[in-house]
Amino acid sequence: MEAIRKQASKLREQVAKQQQDVLKQFVGGSDNVESCETEIQQSDKLEKLCISTRAAKHFQRDIVRGIEGLIVTGSKQIEIGTRLSEDGQKYGSENTCTSGNTLSNVALTYSKARAQIEKEHENLLKLLRTQVTEPLRDMIVRSPLEDARRLAKRYDRVRQETESQAIDVARCQSRARDTNINSENMLKLEAAERKLYELKSNMLTLGKEASAAMAAVESQQQRLTLHRLIAMVEAERAYHQRVLQILDKLELEMLSERQRGETTTSPAGSYEGSTDGLGYFLGEVIHPYRAESDAELTLAVGDYIVVREVRNDGWAEGECKGEAGWFPYGFIVRRKRIPATEVAQVF
């Protein structure tokens, strides 16, 4: 692709040089040569603007198509997730178990969290549609770009007509030098030169207008597309952050519910109380936990903690690295029992 672009650029330079040589040969004069060079530079600038705006338009269209695909698949995912939420709600509301209601409670908790996630997903898709897709699509089909393109095409037609007229004038001048020119031929030459002058004036005016219009469109394309891409990234980032918060809270609630179920079905003397005569036990941290108050413990995976009390609400109290406090019992796993008289020797 890079080789093709280089070859095309080289070809454009060759064509421009040939056009300049032809006009120099037939028109002559330093002023006309400078004018031709200016026109060629303007034509080259306009061509580059056309290429740039066309590429930006295609990129905008690719973004719109991509987001439309995300919206279609996302809508299907929302439909499936909503159905799963409803199934969890139905099970949690209609079913119980002889060994406890842990799974029913977890199902209700999961159903609520899943509904929140799908709501956030739906909001994300709406935001992508309104803040990204619609502005870009409007930019693609709006009149400024088409108006600028029409001006560029008009300029190109007038430029070609001007080049043709310049060659005709040069031929008339050549014939006038080779033969005795009569009044009729002189009138034809003057008419041809007037037409060439008018065409050049029109070409210059159209070139400036088309270049200005294309430059304005290019600037707007660059600015709008960049802003919409940033908006898309910010929207997705905010969505994933909110989903992560929901999942963190859901996990903690599910672990606590599981611990409450295990505490309820286990012999009371095996887990609860620090004065049951059986002593404390050692626990290993399997999930990190950050304390939210001075009464709680911050835990890191791999830490060992002396557990002194476990409550029915899923919280436990113990000591780790010289600090004492409360923590979610479901965040540790029991390793072995420690007699109360030997606790001081553990850490």
- Assigned CATH topology for domain 30-262: Substrate Binding Domain Of Dnak; Chain:A; Domain 2 (1.20.1270)
Check if CATH label 3.40.50.720 holds for domain 281-334.
no
Question: pLDDT tens digit string along 300-342?
Answer: 998 999 998 888 878 899 999 888 999 998 899 888 765 555 5
Q: Which residue has the higher pLDDT, 74 or 50?
A: 74
First-last CA distance in the chain = 67
Beta strand extents in the chain (DSSP E only): 280-285, 304-310, 315-320, 323-328, 332-338
> Cβ-count burial of 117 within 10 angstroms (0-12 exposed, 13-18 middle, 19+ buried)?
buried
List all residues 6 or more positions away from 334 whose beta carbon is below 8 Å from its beta carbon: 281, 282, 283, 307
Question: pLDDT tens digit string along 263-277?
Answer: 555 443 344 444 344
Comparing CA positions, the residue from 5, 3, 128 lying closest to residue 55 is: 5
Q: Which residue has the higher pLDDT, 289 or 262?
A: 289
Report the amino acid identity of residue 96: T
Q: Which residue has the tokens 């060994």?
A: 99
Mean pLDDT in residue range 73-98: 90
Q: Which of 14-28, 173-187, 328-342 has the highest mean pLDDT?
A: 328-342
Percent of the chain with pLDDT over 70: 77
Question: How does DSSP classify residue 98?
Answer: T
Question: How does DSSP classify residue 211?
Answer: H
Q: What share of the chain is helix, strand, coil (3-state, %, to 5)?
A: 75, 10, 15
According to DSSP, the residues that pair with 280 across neighbouring strands are: 338
Domain boundaries along the sequence of the chain: 30-262, 281-334
Q: Sign of the C-alpha dihedral, residues 10, 15, 18, 19?
A: negative
- pLDDT surpasses 60 at 110: yes
Comparing CA positions, the residue from 185, 139, 157 lying closest to residue 46 is: 157
pTM of the model: 0.60
Instruction: Give Cα separations from 150 to 130, 155, 221, 230, 298 (angstroms).
Output: 30, 9, 18, 31, 68
Comparing CA positions, the residue from 345, 255, 332 lying closest to residue 318 is: 332
